[in-house]
């Protein structure tokens, strides 16, 4: 009985605490709301300073929301903002009597002498709004947490998503008008013109950038290939170009290889030292010096690698939001799609095709939410291997789900005929395939299709442009061939000498 009384007492105490919490007045600054609205109606500068900070929902008092909506409508229509125009707009909206009529508008303007400090006042109003939003979200999280039927991982994901939205200053994105979207599009086109036609992230592969104008924000890009084609090598080369040359943040989620293995590959491609030498650590003194000098740019690159195995889509979204918030990443790479799990209520007994569909749909949602391109590597089915002479992959070869093709904005393949002992390309020139690969754009929602040939350096785990390919490795070898000398130069002149004696290739 005593134990039951304690429990009952505790329950009553909790009830009292909850009732006290509900009795608190929400954070607000009504006096500042009045000052800001009054200043906007007497001074055009006040409108310019506050309009980018506030939105109607930021006002605590309903009457103030309606007044601000009227001011915002006048501003978007390039109309003057004053007592008369705001009164007329409120009358058109059917809200004039609701806010207290002209008398209330006059009172607002009489409470303020100028628009001085309006930006500071606006930010306090926004701060109160964020506080109210946090209270609302917290209450929803508490209520959902008491529900025994709710999935804990979905609850965590929803909670983090809502909190991320608050940090972006936009709880729920409203539907935008064609007028505002046209203005945004025109501004974007102007910016693109200044960047020599590239509207997205430059990959460093010129023909690919020419086809896509760079990877576009909110796009889901699938890069698929059979094992051994060089999927990881390609995205690493691309990530290197974006992080080092363009200085844009890249998040690389590797579910197959460790982060140290990946960075070793990058070191190999950056320094010109073969992967076998780096694995064994058998480097000459000049090669150690070469390594130390060449990795300096890589050390400073905004490249973030996460090698969490069996990563769920919920964990990925949470990690990606944090990286976007903290480091403003501009690209996400996932290696690779089939190793991810849907998480949530899926306990492994469901249909794998449905799980892949869920993952691809969520990846597209993540790309739109963060407004950055998301690249996911994918495996192809063995149907490629059973074909006749040409082993070039098709869209039907995507493994486990047609939803991947449906959700993706771009579906591409990597094809290396050399891997299948095919010595020449199947074209009119019959050019040799050695050291070459084809990047096949098989689906492009917003552009054309093409097969783009690239240079493939297996020893260094690297892809590069084919037409204008010129690196210190080739220059050094060419110089030695021209002078008809052997590779017995002094250490100071042996730039990449020892790496040419190694013909081993990196397994992919």
- Residue that has been written with the tokens 């003057």 in this structure: 80
Cα–Cα distance between 145 and 133 in angstroms, integer?
18
Condensed to tens digits (0 to 9), the pLDDT of residues 374-411 reads 999 988 878 777 776 677 888 877 766 667 778 888 99
User: Mean per-residue pLDDT for 42-66?
Assistant: 86
Tell me, which fold does domain 196-343+351-465 have in CATH? Answer: Rossmann fold (3.40.50)
Q: What is the pLDDT of residue 179?
A: 73
Other CB atoms within 10 Å distance of the CB of residue 211: 18
**pLDDT top residue among 268 and 235:** 235
What is the dihedral sign for C-alpha 478, 483, 485, 489?
negative
DSSP-derived 3-state class of residue 282: coil
Sheet of strand 220-225, all strands in order from the earlier edge strand to the far edge: 303-306, 250-254, 331-335, 374-379, 220-225, 410-415, 436-444, 450-457, 462-465
Condensed to tens digits (0 to 9), the pLDDT of residues 76-114 reads 777 888 999 999 999 999 999 998 899 999 999 888 888
Q: What is the pLDDT of residue 195?
A: 60
User: Mean per-residue pLDDT for 164-175?
Assistant: 58
User: Mean per-residue pLDDT for 300-328?
Assistant: 83
* Tokens (6 digits) for 479: 């110089």
Q: Which of 119, 154, 160, 256 is catalytic?
A: 256
Q: What is the pLDDT of residue 89?
A: 92
Predicted confidence (pLDDT) at residue 39 exceeds the cutoff of 60: yes
**pLDDT top residue among 190 and 53:** 53
Condensed to tens digits (0 to 9), the pLDDT of residues 110-151 reads 888 888 888 889 889 988 998 888 888 888 888 888 888 877
* Crossing angle for the helix pair 30-42 and 62-76, to the nearest 10 degrees: 30
User: Mean per-residue pLDDT for 274-303?
Assistant: 79
Condensed to tens digits (0 to 9), the pLDDT of residues 396-451 reads 777 666 677 788 889 989 888 888 888 888 776 778 888 888 898 888 888 888 88
CA distances in angstroms from 213 to 195, 203, 467, listed in the order given:
10, 9, 19
Q: What is the residue-wise DSSP string for 303-350?
A: EEEE--TT-BHHHHHHHHHHHHHHH---EEEEE-GGG-B--TT--S-S
Predicted confidence (pLDDT) at residue 64 exceeds the cutoff of 90: yes
Cα–Cα distance between 407 and 219 in angstroms, integer?
10
Closest CA to 399 of 373, 376, 372: 376
- Most confident listed range (97-101, 416-420, 468-472, 477-481): 97-101
Contacts by 192-201, CB closer than 8 A, 24 or more apart: 200/373, 201/242, 201/246, 201/248, 201/330, 201/331, 201/373
Condensed to tens digits (0 to 9), the pLDDT of residues 192-241 reads 666 666 778 888 888 888 888 888 888 999 998 888 888 888 888 888 88
Cα–Cα distance between 463 and 440 in angstroms, integer?
14
Largest CA distance in the chain: 100
**pLDDT top residue among 275 and 169:** 275
Please, are residues 373 and 399 in contact by the beta-carbon 8 Å criterion?
no
Condensed to tens digits (0 to 9), the pLDDT of residues 346-373 reads 444 457 777 888 888 888 888 988 889 9
Other CB atoms within 10 Å distance of the CB of residue 152: 10
Residue partners of 258: CB distance under 8 A and separation at least 6: 307
Percentage of residues in the chain having pLDDT higher than 70: 80
Architecture of the domain made up of 30-169: Orthogonal Bundle (1.10)
* Tokens (6 digits) for 409: 């904005």
Cα–Cα distance between 334 and 355 in angstroms, integer?
16
Name the DSSP class of 213: S
Cα–Cα distance between 135 and 29 in angstroms, integer?
16
Is 265 buried (19+), middle (13-18) or exposed (0-12) by CB count in 10 A? buried
Which residue ranges does the chain devote to CATH 1.10.860.10?
30-169
Q: What is the residue-wise DSSP string for 228-269?
A: TS-HHHHHHHHHHIIIIIS---EEEEESSS-HHHHHHHHHHH
Cα–Cα distance between 402 and 222 in angstroms, integer?
12
Angle at the Cα of 423 (from 418 to 424), degrees rounded to 5?
110
Question: What are the phi and psi torsion angles at 271 (to 5°)?
Answer: -100, -20
* pTM exceeding 0.75: no
Predicted confidence (pLDDT) at residue 474 exceeds the cutoff of 70: no
Rg (the chain; Cα; Å): 30
Which residue ranges does the chain devote to CATH 3.40.50.300?
196-343+351-465
Cα–Cα distance between 264 and 455 in angstroms, integer?
20
Predicted confidence (pLDDT) at residue 262 exceeds the cutoff of 50: yes
Residue 191 is a catalytic residue: no
Is 262 buried (19+), middle (13-18) or exposed (0-12) by CB count in 10 A? buried
Q: What is the pLDDT of residue 344?
A: 54
Condensed to tens digits (0 to 9), the pLDDT of residues 492-503 reads 434 333 333 333
User: Mean per-residue pLDDT for 231-254?
Assistant: 88
Predicted confidence (pLDDT) at residue 160 exceeds the cutoff of 90: no
- The helix or strand, by DSSP H or E, that contains position 462, with its residue range, turns out to be strand 462-465
Cα–Cα distance between 67 and 71 in angstroms, integer?
6
Predicted confidence (pLDDT) at residue 477 exceeds the cutoff of 70: no
């Amino acid at each position: 009985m005593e134990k039951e009384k304690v429990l009952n007492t505790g329950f009553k105490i909790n009830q009292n605490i909850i009732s006290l919490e509900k009795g608190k007045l929400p954070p607000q600054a009504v006096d500042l709301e009045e000052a800001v609205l009054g200043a906007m109606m007497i001074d055009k500068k006040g409108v310019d300073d506050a309009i980018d900070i506030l939105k109607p929902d930021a006002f605590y008092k309903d009457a103030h929301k309606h007044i601000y909506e009227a001011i915002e409508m006048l501003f978007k229509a390039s109309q003057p903002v004053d007592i008369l125009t705001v009164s007329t707009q409120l009358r058109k909206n059917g809200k004039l009597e609701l806010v207290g009529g002209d008398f209330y508008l006059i009172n607002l303007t009489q409470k303020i002498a100028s628009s001085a400090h309006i930006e500071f006042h606006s930010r306090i109003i926004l701060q109160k709004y964020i506080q109210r939003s946090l209270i609302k979200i917290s209450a929803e999280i508490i209520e959902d947490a008491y529900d025994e039927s709710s999935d804990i991982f979905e609850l965590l994901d929803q909670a983090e998503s809502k909190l991320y939205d608050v940090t972006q200053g936009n709880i729920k994105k409203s539907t935008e008008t064609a007028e505002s979207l046209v203005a945004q599009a025109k501004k974007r086109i102007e910016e693109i013109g200044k960047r020599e036609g590239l509207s997205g992230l430059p990959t460093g592969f010129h023909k690919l950038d020419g086809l896509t104008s760079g990877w576009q924000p909110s796009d889901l890009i699938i890069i698929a290939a059979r094992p051994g084609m060089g999927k990881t090598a390609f995205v690493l080369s691309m990530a290197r170009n974006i992080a080092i040359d363009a200085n844009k943040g890249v998040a690389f989620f590797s579910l197959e290889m460790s982060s140290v293995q990946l960075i070793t590959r990058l070191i190999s491609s950056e320094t010109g030292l073969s992967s076998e030498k780096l694995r064994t650590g058998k480097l000459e003194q000049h090669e150690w010096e070469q390594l130390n000098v060449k990795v300096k740019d890589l050390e400073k690159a905004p490249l973030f690698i996460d090698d969490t195995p069996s990563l769920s889509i919920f964990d990925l979204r949470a990690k990606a939001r944090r990286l976007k918030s903290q480091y403003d990443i501009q690209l996400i790479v996932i290696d690779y799609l089939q190793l991810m799990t849907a998480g949530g209520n899926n306990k492994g007994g469901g249909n794998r095709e449905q799980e892949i569909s869920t993952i691809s749909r969520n990846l597209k949602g993540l790309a739109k939410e963060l407004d950055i391109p998301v690249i996911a590597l994918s495996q192809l089915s063995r149907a490629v291997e059973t074909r006749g002479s040409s082993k070039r992959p098709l869209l039907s070869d995507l493994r486990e789900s047609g939803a991947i093709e449906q959700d993706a904005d771009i579906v591409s393949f990597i094809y290396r005929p050399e891997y299948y002992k095919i010595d020449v390309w199947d074209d009119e020139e019959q050019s040799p395939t050695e050291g070459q690969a084809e990047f096949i754009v098989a689906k492009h929602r917003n552009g054309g299709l093409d097969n783009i040939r690239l240079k493939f350096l297996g020893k260094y785990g690297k892809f590069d442009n084919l037409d204008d390919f010129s690196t210190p490795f080739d220059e050094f070898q060419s110089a030695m061939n021209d002078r008809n000398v052997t590779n017995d130069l002094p250490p100071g002149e042996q730039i990449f000498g020892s790496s040419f004696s190694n013909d081993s290739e990196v397994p992919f």
